[in-house]
Structure 1
Amino acid sequence: ASAGWNMDGPPRLDASSTFLVWRDPVEAWEENWTFVVLQLAMFALATATLVHAIRVGRAGLLLWLAAVGHGLFVEGFCYALPELDNFHHGRALVAIFGGRMPGYVVVLYPAFYYSAAQLASMLLGGLGSQFSGLRALGRRRREASSEGVVDAELVATAALTGLLTALVDVPYDAMGPKLLHWSWHPDDPNVFERTGPFIPTTSFIFHITFAASWLLVGAAASRVARMPCCGKLGWIPALLVASLLPFPLGVMQIQLFYVVPHDLACVPTATCLAAAVGAYLVVIVLCAWWLRGGVTRRVDPSIRRVSALPVLALLSVFSCCFVAFAALADPAGLSDTGVHLPVAVSEEACSRTETMLSLGGVATKSMHLCSLPDGASSGGPLALRPGDRSSFPLVGHTLPAAHCAMPEVPHPFRVANSASEAQAGVIRKWTMIGTEWGAEGPASTRAAMLMVVCWPVALMLTTVLAAWSLDRSPSLAHSKSD
């Protein structure tokens, strides 16, 4: 039914595991049909963006591959570093790293980033179906006789790309944990504050900053690679730079918008997110003001105009899938048997571990799932045994993260039977089963989740229609020559 799954090994990145693993799609459908639909929809959207990038030319393909490389670097870094290892994916149809990283996550980054960047450029300038990070390579805004590697048009497009990526991510992040597509660490300080019942607020800050960094660095690297002095092999170092440099650039922004105010002054994460969104909007407005008036563009014939309609259409279908999930799915009937966060079956394994925060503070973090009896202040072991079909709920933890008070967080799953024996007091392979709508409170009812999912989908569809209309508007036609 499957091949290469390291069910009894450690849940983190394990280089000794089989690199590529897969599972029976029929078995996967029976366990969780929504997860199968999600993966197929993600692969379809990623394929559309890849075809578009290839048709655009070498610059488009570089940015697409840079998004893949960036995603592999970010995900692998999080798996390998315990302080950042705060989520576990479900058992996917195809996965790498011994099953730790699903195949659809590999292409999630180009699917989200490329689509959002395409949409951003069409909104900002009606630049046709090339987004600004590509068109600006050959059609750069000129002032006097100088041309820069990074200009205001690119900065504005990168900022809007970050905001649109977060918008695309809202239904994905809202429904994923409830439908067992992945699970967040129960009390990791970096993902503890939630928007709604299931979305870590820091996830939005991550997507905004990292997507913007990807386009900014990728487009700038592509411009440099096109210079005559770089030669024909200039695209190779450009691809490496575009894959690796967005990570530290994104981290620096997260330090500015989240870590410093949150860890030093206990500013709520929602306030940090509002500050990040506001700052990005200010950047877009300032760039638009800077670029006011007449603009001379120079067309590079090597960058072909390609219709964005297939990408935007599949992006719309992808987003609507989550509305269908909220309307049709029964989370209580879904399950996922695989390697998740280890479950403690001994008192010793339920202990908490100190974890260092980036500014030197210390927080505590449970390395294993433990039950929390009513009124208890610390976890106890779960009565989990192989073959036992009973299930156990997990209630919220109150996290003493540094000196900041944290609320309780509901877990949208229950622990069912074990599929492997305990090792060192923990069980790594077990069955996760979903909970009923509303089990985590009023915010998790079907009606509430439909509201959470429908508004970003409606806003995104409106944005797609607006971008398509702007792109077709005769008043936004640009000069094809100097």
Structure 2
Amino acid sequence: MLVLFLVGLTVVLIDVPYDIMGIKLLWWTWHDTDPNIYDRHYWVPWTSYYFHATFASGFTFAFHGIHKLLSKEPNKFQSAGFFKELVCCLIAAMCGFPLGTLQFLPIYHPLHDSNQIHTEVCVCLLFAMYVMIIWSADRTNAPDRVQSQAAGRKNKYFNEIILLVLLHYGLYIYLVLTAQPEKIRATGLHEPVGPCQETVPVVTAFGHTLAKNKYLCVEKYDEAVFDFHCVKTLPKPGESWYTICGTKFPNHLEYIIVVCGFCGFGILWFVQLMIRSSSLPRPRTVKPKQN
């Protein structure tokens, strides 16, 4: 169970600088009136972090659970064969989404949809639960685990995963220091432009019907990460292929501190996991019976 929540938090730490810089540099946009993504953190929906944590843990639960059922190997990290591993991957891919969605039921939907509590509170409650489960499990050391951890401390090395982590976080540190989002012109497929008043229903898991705008209202929208200052004419109603323009950092130093802070914390997190944690268990060898 520890691995499920550990994977969820690790995926979020990988995602945070990507989301913050991605939306600021117009790699994508989100609909400003969708009630499920309305609450933002540096213009990133809080639910994005909730999604990544719950779906990653759901996928991990499905993958290891199916692997344990299909594999007769004593070591869960040992291959069960190509076809069995393929089945594990396919089932995990199909079950990750519904298992992640189930984790919205006890926290997000009753608090946000029924009681209009800010999504930030829901995300913090989820992360607090994850951290306490991880911390509580990590405090419980069986004798064999203590011996394994003692041996693992001697196994300090620099591997390709740490290299990828450094490259990943290094990219966003470089971008937040050097990028000029106000000079970006993003031409491509965007939210269709249309009437400001037309809405579509959004039905939640608790049966609540929420409403969101069907179209982007170019005269009135709540997205500070883009505008239309670099184009001569605004997109016309019905258009979904048009150009949007980036905007300046409202406080560049604040962005630098936030992105670099998350990157630094993420690097330390992976160093603890990959270098300072105990080593993976070795495959057990079964001695042949002597006649």
Q: Deviations over 1:146-172 (max 9, x none)?
A: xxxxxxxxx102211111111111111
Cα distance, 1:421 vs. partner? 8.8
| Structure 1 stretches of 4+ moved >6 Å | 418-421, 476-480
Aligned to 1:224: 69
TM-score by length of structure 2 reads: 0.82
Cα distance, 1:250 vs. partner? 0.3
1:446 aligned to 252, 265, 274, which one? 252
Q: Deviations over 1:245-277 (max 9, x none)?
A: 111110000222211221112222111111111
C-alpha contact 1:352 1:367 (8 A) present in aligned 2: yes
Aligned to 1:351: 198
Map residues 5-404 of structure 1 onto 2, 5 A cutoff. 155-195=1-41, 197-227=42-72, 233-289=83-139, 291-295=141-145, 309-344=159-194, 348=195, 350-372=197-219, 379=220, 395-396=221-222
Cα distance in 2 for residues equivalent to 1:309 and 1:227 = 30
Equivalent residue letter for 1:215:
T
Quick one: structure 1 residues 310 and 215, their matched pair in 2 at CA, closer, same or farther if it must change by over 3 Å?
same
Work out the number of aligned pairs and report it.
Answer: 271
Structure 2 portions without partners, runs of 5+: 74-79, 149-156, 286-291
Higher relative contact order at CA 8 Å, sep ≥6: structure 1 or structure 2?
2
Q: Deviations over 1:307-364 (max 9, x none)?
A: 87112211111112111111111111111111100122xxx56523333233222222
Cα distance in 2 for residues equivalent to 1:418 and 1:222 = 57
Cα distance in 1 for residues equivalent to 2:46 and 2:231 = 32
Quick one: structure 1 residues 465 and 367, their matched pair in 2 at CA, closer, same or farther if it must change by over 3 Å?
same
- The answer to whether structure 1 residue 433 and structure 2 residue 251 are counterparts is no
Quick one: structure 1 residues 236 and 459, their matched pair in 2 at CA, closer, same or farther if it must change by over 3 Å?
closer
Same amino acid, percent of matched pairs:
24
Cα distance, 1:174 vs. partner? 0.9
Cα distance, 1:203 vs. partner? 1.0
Equivalent residue letter for 2:117:
V
Equivalent residue letter for 1:221:
I
Query: Aligned Cα RMSD in Å?
Result: 3.1
C-alpha contact 1:174 1:198 (8 A) present in aligned 2: yes
More divergent stretch after superposition (285-294 vs 217-226): 285-294
Match of 2:189, SS?
strand
Quick one: structure 1 residues 287 and 433, their matched pair in 2 at CA, closer, same or farther if it must change by over 3 Å?
same
Aligned to 2:226: 413
Cα distance, 1:479 vs. partner? 7.1
